[in-house]
Amino acid sequence: MPDPIPPRDIDAEQALLGSIMIAPYLFEDLVTIVKAEYFYRDSHRWIWEAMNHLLESEQQIDHVTLCNALNTSGKLKEIGGPAYITGLLNATPTSMHAESYAMIVREKAFKRKALEVATNLAQNAIQDKPLSDALQQMEEFFVTSSALSGVTERMVMTAEKLCLSEMGELTWILKDWIMAGGINLIAGMPAAGKSFLTLDLAIGMASSGLAWDNRPVTQGKVLYHFLDGSYRGMRSRVLKLCHARGIQPPANLIFDFSPLNLKVTSEVLALRQRIHRLDASVVIFDVMAKFMPGADENSVAEISPMMNTLREIANQTGTTFILIHHLNKGGNPDLSYRVRGSSDILGSVDTAIVVVHENQHSAHSNRTIIPQKVRESLPPAQLQFQIESTEDSIALRFSEANASELLRVPGQAELIFADILDYLQSLPAQEFKKNELISALQINSSARTIDRAFSKLNNDPRIRVTKRGSFNTYQWEEDTPAMPFP
């Protein structure tokens, strides 16, 4: 039985190459769709490589430059000489359909690869050989072929198209708190209530469209990845939260208790496919660290690619991500400094919520939800909630924090400024240079943060600032009326 003829479309290959000869400016976009190895004919592959070389060397693509590049590489004669390049123009119906030709060429290439992978797998199975190599090849094929669905294509558009599109309109899952189609962070210490908060949100999205004490939320399917406890514990929580609402556990809330590594390309592809298959609009990771095993949370080099992956999926599919994360232990009241791991985590998200437990030893004590970051919008007022638990139900009771109860979160510069004021007031008879104050208080913050603190100091009426040559000195002004410290 003769070998099957591999999938190919020579006419599409010629039309694609001819389109670029007619309109060379198309190549820069088309090269993101088609690689040289996608062409069935070697001659067409060599022409594509020559075009790419001209682009990289910032030369124009035309009949003369292309023939010269092919002649330099020793391929022009094998292709058929300049006449074959001219013939590509005649083989092109219209350059306006160049992208369609490119998609045909790419699809045929992936079909050939699929045939090759399937053949290798079958041969290994028939010959009773280990399947590990063939399975690895299959995995690599599925990762690469994800481009067929468009999930890895570059998102390129003109400014006009960008501004006319609706994709940039700001929408919310929960108004002012959880951004739709974005990456949202909910952080807190263990037992702060962040999982209960997220689970109440998920149940509301998957059922009535109400969460957080009857606040409206966007309805849709929720995929909840959970590795921070047993499925029995999650079952108990869901049953009790639903019982308090008087509803059955919603079918649109889907739990996945399987391990998932967001650093592994094939597993990210599987996640994309699962989101598409389930038609999930929201994906939750509880807790984030469990889904990047072995990664150094403090390393930008390790964290940034994972956050970029989530951003790519969110941008291309409109999926909303909610990441549950931990705070570091410590007394620093600036909670942004206590979000565990690299600053790229907080920098990459669209919204960040910090949940603070007033008394960790009391299950019924107040918990405060602090908006730590809201991109593209003003932060909402802080909320407080209590977890009311009985034998068969759990309910979250919310209230807006009174002005006297608001947890003010000072920045690092404000903390340094307050420390300097305390120190200068304790030694009113002495004046100090900037470096002496930094040394005495053992300030280890960045130069920019320190400069912001001293900028406030220079304008404070309680401080006498004296110019001493090229530097200033600072001294507490004893005669100034008392003012409350920030």
Among 202-206, 223-227, 296-300, 379-383, the minimum mean pLDDT is found in 296-300
Among 38-42, 101-105, 164-168, 186-190, the minimum mean pLDDT is found in 164-168
* pLDDT band, very low/low/confident/very high, at 147 (cuts 50, 70, 90): very low
Segment 313-337 shows an average pLDDT of 78
Q: Which residues contact 250 (CB under 8 A, 6 or more apart)?
A: 203, 206, 207, 242
Same domain, 401 and 416: no
Same domain, 298 and 351: yes
Same domain, 124 and 180: no
Same domain, 73 and 183: no
Distance in angstroms (rounded) separating the CA atoms of residues 333 and 354: 12
CATH label of the domain that carries residue 232: 3.40.50.300
Same domain, 316 and 219: yes
Looking at residue 125, its pLDDT comes to 78
Range of the domain at 458: 412-476
Same domain, 235 and 359: yes
Same domain, 223 and 137: no
Q: Which of the two residues, 278 and 442, has the higher pLDDT score?
A: 278
Distance in angstroms (rounded) separating the CA atoms of residues 9 and 263: 36
Phi-psi category of residue 261: left, alpha or beta, with phi > 0 → left and psi -120 to 50 → alpha: beta
Q: Is residue 252 part of a domain?
A: yes
Q: 321: part of which helix (H) or strand (E)?
A: strand 320-326
Looking at residue 128, its pLDDT comes to 76
Same domain, 268 and 391: yes
CATH label of the domain that carries residue 123: 1.10.860.10
Segment 229-246 shows an average pLDDT of 93
Task: Show the tokens assigned to 124.
Answer: 């290994």
Amino acid at 71: N
* Cα 189–Cα 195–Cα 199 angle in degrees, nearest 5: 165
Looking at residue 78, its pLDDT comes to 94
Give 154-213 pLDDT, tens digit per residue: 566 778 776 776 655 689 999 999 999 999 999 988 888 999 999 999 999 999 999 998
Same domain, 363 and 284: yes
Q: Is residue 166 part of a domain?
A: no
* pLDDT band, very low/low/confident/very high, at 148 (cuts 50, 70, 90): very low
> What is the per-residue DSSP string for 379-399?
PPPPEEEEEEE-SS-EEEEEE
Looking at residue 467, its pLDDT comes to 85
Distance in angstroms (rounded) separating the CA atoms of residues 203 and 209: 9
Q: Is residue 19 part of a domain?
A: yes
Beta strands of 195-261 (E only): which ranges?
210-211, 215-216, 221-226, 253-256
Q: Is residue 4 part of a domain?
A: no
Spatial CA neighbour of 412 closest among 360, 461, 448 = 448
Among 39-43, 191-195, 221-225, the minimum mean pLDDT is found in 191-195
Q: What percent of the chain has pLDDT over 90?
A: 46
Indicate the length of the chain as a whole number: 486
Q: Which of the two residues, 173 and 2, has the higher pLDDT score?
A: 173
Task: Show the tokens assigned to 49.
Answer: 């490589």
Point out the domain boundary residue: 405, 431, 450.
Answer: 405
Asked if the model's pLDDT at residue 473 lies above 50, the reply is yes
Phi, psi of 218 (to 5 degrees): -70, 135
Contact 329, 190 (CB under 8 A): no
Contact 102, 16 (CB under 8 A): yes
Q: Is residue 163 part of a domain?
A: no
Contact 202, 283 (CB under 8 A): no
For the chain, the farthest-separated pair of C-alpha atoms sits apart, in whole angstroms, at 104
Same domain, 41 and 189: no
Number of compact structural domains in the chain: 3
Give 380-434 pLDDT, tens digit per residue: 989 999 999 999 999 999 987 665 555 545 566 777 887 788 788 888 888 899 9
Point out the domain boundary residue: 371, 405, 439.
Answer: 405
* pLDDT band, very low/low/confident/very high, at 483 (cuts 50, 70, 90): very low
Q: Is 455 exposed, middle or buried (0-12, 13-18, 19+ CB in 10 A)?
A: exposed
Looking at residue 481, its pLDDT comes to 44
Distance in angstroms (rounded) separating the CA atoms of residues 303 and 292: 9
Give 358-392 pLDDT, tens digit per residue: 655 455 678 999 999 998 888 898 999 999 999 99
Q: Which of the two residues, 296 and 168, has the higher pLDDT score?
A: 296
Torsion of CA 87, 89, 94, 96, to 10 degrees: 130
Point out the domain boundary residue: 375, 405, 435.
Answer: 405
Same domain, 219 and 113: no
Give 277-295 pLDDT, tens digit per residue: 899 999 999 999 999 998 8
Asked if the model's pLDDT at residue 151 lies above 50, the reply is no
Same domain, 346 and 370: yes
Q: Give the full edge-to-edge strand order of the sheet including 463-468.
A: 432-433, 471-476, 463-468
Q: Is residue 230 part of a domain?
A: yes
* pLDDT band, very low/low/confident/very high, at 352 (cuts 50, 70, 90): very high
Task: Show the tokens assigned to 213.
Answer: 């004490």
Looking at residue 144, its pLDDT comes to 54
Q: Which of the two residues, 399 and 43, has the higher pLDDT score?
A: 43
Q: 357: part of which helix (H) or strand (E)?
A: strand 351-357
DSSP 327: B
Q: Is residue 482 part of a domain?
A: no
* Distance from the first to the final alpha carbon of the chain: 86
Q: Which of the two residues, 476 and 204, has the higher pLDDT score?
A: 204
Q: Is residue 43 part of a domain?
A: yes
Quote the mean pLDDT of the chain: 84
